[in-house]
Structure 1
Amino acid sequence: MAVPARSSMREALAGLVAAFCVVVWLAAPASAETRLCNRTSVVTEAAIGVVVGDTAATRGWFRLDPGQCRAILQSAEAPGRLFLHTRPLGEAPGASLGQPEHVQLCIGEGDFLVPAAQSCRQANTRLASFVEVKPTVVEGIGVLFLSEEADYDLPQARKAGIQRLLTRMGYDPGPIDGLEGPKTDAALRAFLTDLNLPADAAVLPDIFDRLLAALRAGEGPGFAWCNETGHRIMAALGIEEGRQIATRGWFRIEPGACLKPPLEGQPARVLSFAEAVDAEGRPVTRAGGPLVFGGDVQACIRTSEFEITGAGDCAAHGGTAVGFAAITFDGRRRASLRFREPR
């Protein structure tokens, strides 16, 4: 039997030590624990990391709705240095809570535990930025807070989270301030009515599941793109302003996601052009040509980010004329366009 190299043996022992620390840590009696509390308006997933000497291990994901606290460790004291990584749910791609970077450790998908987390050798793991945190311990309970500039308390964070997702869906709850008010109440009632939900659904534990599912499905007033392909979609929006057409792009819609671009006023219809791209941003081709989604209304686009008014001479704007699809709103001021692979 071959003997492992000394460096490989050291890495294996480090991984075992790190994993042992986390398992013991998580299996400690529940009389003491460390809780993570979400005082932001964003539904968040968190991963934790512990570094003991030159070894590290990570574990995730812990989902926290706005206003929610969860036990992330069955101990008020970590056996080493404690680190935290967070990612928002229901926000635009690339959004973050603005945490500083202290160390790079591995994360995975689903319910994961990564020993030897300084290097990502397990399948479906990658390096991510973690920030060092130190719980405040009171009567044997360690507490960490996720906070944002508004500095909500926990009940305000829950209300602000509902306001944020209603706003993302095109309802108008007023400012995202975590406070009760008639506009928030009216927007929430409209949401519950549109989805045929009971009047008390907002106080039930699954309200954020329902809000996120509705957001991803493109529910709510306004116009939504929904990407049902396996590719990233880059979309351009057109609005008819009198006798002219104003276009702007590009909006990125990931596979399986919906996106509501901001609209000003109450246009009778909107125009849409989109193309599928690969991970490097190159056009996806089908039947010898790019996979695009458009229509018969001629308007202007450019390859880079753009905002163009007037479709009479696209070349004068440094652009190209393409065919946009026209989408009209229904009686409830909502419309959607779903991108699907051609058959």
Structure 2
Amino acid sequence: MALERLFLRITALALVTVTALALPARAQEGDGAGWELCNRTSYIIETAVGHTEGTGISVDGWTKLAPGTCKIALPGPLTPGVHYLYGRGSTAHQGGGREWGGRHELCVDPTGGFSLESPPDCAAMGLEAQGFRPIDITRADSWTNNFTEIENWSLDNARNAGLQRLLDEAGIVSGTIDGNIGHRTRSAINDFLKLKDLPASTSDADLIDYLEQAAEERSRSVGFTLCNRTKSRVWSAIARRSTEGWESRGWWRIEAGGCARVIDRPLRGSEHFVYAEMEEPTGLRTLSRASEAFCVGRAKFAISGRDNCEEGSYRTALFARTPAPTERKLVYEFFERDFTPAQQDDE
């Protein structure tokens, strides 16, 4: 199962919608003195870069990129050759964690800034493995990579769209995210500045920081979070009844000791279900007290309905019922005792 999901690191892990958030297929030349990263999305992105140093790969993170900004992630002069790039969305954003990366696994410190030579065993060093995208840099003076989404934003439009997204996620105003600041958005910004007792002269950069903090504070009080209390990696999925009927979604990869926020809006209804597979050298372990059948896919999936899974090229899996949410919030923890003995994968 793990091999079937390796490509998940190429795309964003957000499961609310299927969006084409991707890095351009080739790097573009820029004017920065070194390796410059530009954020042409409406999301705040934290980036990490890797480059060959001696016989190993040095990895540095995190460089925060506000929407519509560029920063030098690796000062010049650059050594032409393969470098590595990974990006993750801010936890302030709704819709689950977003990632921009690839299949080359390197170690990162998910908790804060770091600079390290990526070891062969991330977990043994208290680190987390993430999939980086190889970038073939061919110039020594400067190089630029753009983070993009479906909309082909200019830097100015990306900044405006980022403000609109954060105003929505901070609960100030909901509206279209189109990259154009009109009367409605300006009024919302003024309302937020007054609410936080901030001057009208507050810069866009500071405004984005304040909005990110407000969105994070708001998001902590609602939603559905899965936590892995085992010593192994867990792949997880959820199921629930939506306004359109039963649905199942996955996969979320949760490292040992980590958590994943799978729904970041207030929970509706009381019936929620979870599925998990634990990877171990001896085989795969699934939840032992699971009896509710739902469909799951071999790759990232969002499936409507829970019947006739195989007819839709899915498979049937047994999910466990969770406790009812409390105040529209739910945290579910996976423990070693929750899983069956390991089963050997079929060859």
Same fold? TM cut 0.5:
yes
Structure-to-structure mapping, 1:120-199, within 5 angstroms: 120=122, 122-134=125-137, 142-168=143-169, 173-188=174-189, 196=196, 198=198
TM-score of the superposed pair, with normalisation by structure 1: 0.55
Instruction: Point out which structure has higher relative CO (alpha carbons under 8 A, 6+ apart).
Output: 2
Q: Distance in 2 between matches of 1:198 and 1:123?
A: 40
Q: Distance in 1 between matches of 2:247 and 2:156?
A: 38
CA contact (8 A) 1:38 1:145 kept: yes
Q: C-alpha displacement at 1:185, in angstroms?
A: 3.3
Q: C-alpha displacement at 1:261, in angstroms?
A: 5.6
Q: Distance in 1 between matches of 2:226 and 2:190?
A: 29
Q: Summarize deviations over 1:252-286 as a string: whole Å, max 9, x none.
A: 79947473569xxxxxx95232246656495597x
CA contact (8 A) 2:36 2:74 kept: yes
Q: % of aligned pairs identical?
A: 22
Q: Distance in 1 between matches of 2:186 and 2:120?
A: 47
SS at the partner of 2:99? coil
Seen in structure 2, the aligned counterparts of structure 1 residues 198 and 307 have a Cα distance that, compared at 3 Å, is farther
Seen in structure 2, the aligned counterparts of structure 1 residues 188 and 235 have a Cα distance that, compared at 3 Å, is farther
CA contact (8 A) 1:218 1:258 kept: no
1:339 to 303, 325, 330: 330
Q: Structure 1: which amino acid aligns with 2:131?
A: A
SS at the partner of 2:42? coil
Question: How many residue pairs get matched?
Answer: 261
1:114 aligned to 2:112?
A: no
Flag the structure with larger Rg.
1
SS at the partner of 2:270? strand
1:75 aligned to 2:76?
A: yes
Q: C-alpha displacement at 1:303, in angstroms?
A: 3.0
User: Match of 1:61?
Assistant: 62
Q: Structure 2: which amino acid aligns with 1:236?
A: R
Q: C-alpha displacement at 1:175, in angstroms?
A: 3.1
Q: C-alpha displacement at 1:161, in angstroms?
A: 1.3
Seen in structure 2, the aligned counterparts of structure 1 residues 211 and 307 have a Cα distance that, compared at 3 Å, is farther
Q: Distance in 1 between matches of 2:67 and 2:117?
A: 30
Q: Structure 1: which amino acid aligns with 2:207?
A: I
SS at the partner of 1:303? strand
CA contact (8 A) 1:48 1:84 kept: yes
Q: C-alpha displacement at 1:84, in angstroms?
A: 1.6
User: Match of 2:247?
Assistant: 249
CA contact (8 A) 1:278 1:284 kept: no
Seen in structure 2, the aligned counterparts of structure 1 residues 227 and 145 have a Cα distance that, compared at 3 Å, is closer
CA contact (8 A) 1:173 1:187 kept: no
Q: Structure 1: which amino acid aligns with 2:132?
A: S
1:259 aligned to 2:263?
A: yes
User: Match of 1:44?
Assistant: 45
Seen in structure 2, the aligned counterparts of structure 1 residues 226 and 169 have a Cα distance that, compared at 3 Å, is farther
User: Match of 1:303?
Assistant: 294
TM-score of the superposed pair, with normalisation by structure 2: 0.55
Q: Distance in 2 between matches of 1:277 and 1:51?
A: 39
Q: C-alpha displacement at 1:52, in angstroms?
A: 5.8
Seen in structure 2, the aligned counterparts of structure 1 residues 307 and 211 have a Cα distance that, compared at 3 Å, is farther
Structure-to-structure mapping, 1:214-293, within 5 angstroms: 214-218=214-218, 224-227=222-225, 234=238, 236-237=240-241, 239=243, 247-250=245-248, 255=259, 257=261, 259-260=263-264, 270-275=268-273, 280=278
Q: Summarize deviations over 1:192-248 as a string: whole Å, max 9, x none.
A: 67x64547497353434443444444469xx95254977779462455xxxxxx643
Q: Structure 2: which amino acid aligns with 1:180?
A: I
Q: Structure 1: which amino acid aligns with 2:329?
A: R
Q: C-alpha displacement at 1:44, in angstroms?
A: 0.9
User: Match of 1:84?
Assistant: 85
CA contact (8 A) 2:43 2:66 kept: yes
SS at the partner of 2:43? coil
Q: Distance in 2 between matches of 1:49 and 1:251?
A: 32
CA contact (8 A) 1:165 1:212 kept: yes
CA contact (8 A) 1:106 1:126 kept: yes
Seen in structure 2, the aligned counterparts of structure 1 residues 42 and 162 have a Cα distance that, compared at 3 Å, is same
Q: C-alpha displacement at 1:66, in angstroms?
A: 0.8
Q: Distance in 1 between matches of 2:95 and 2:80?
A: 36
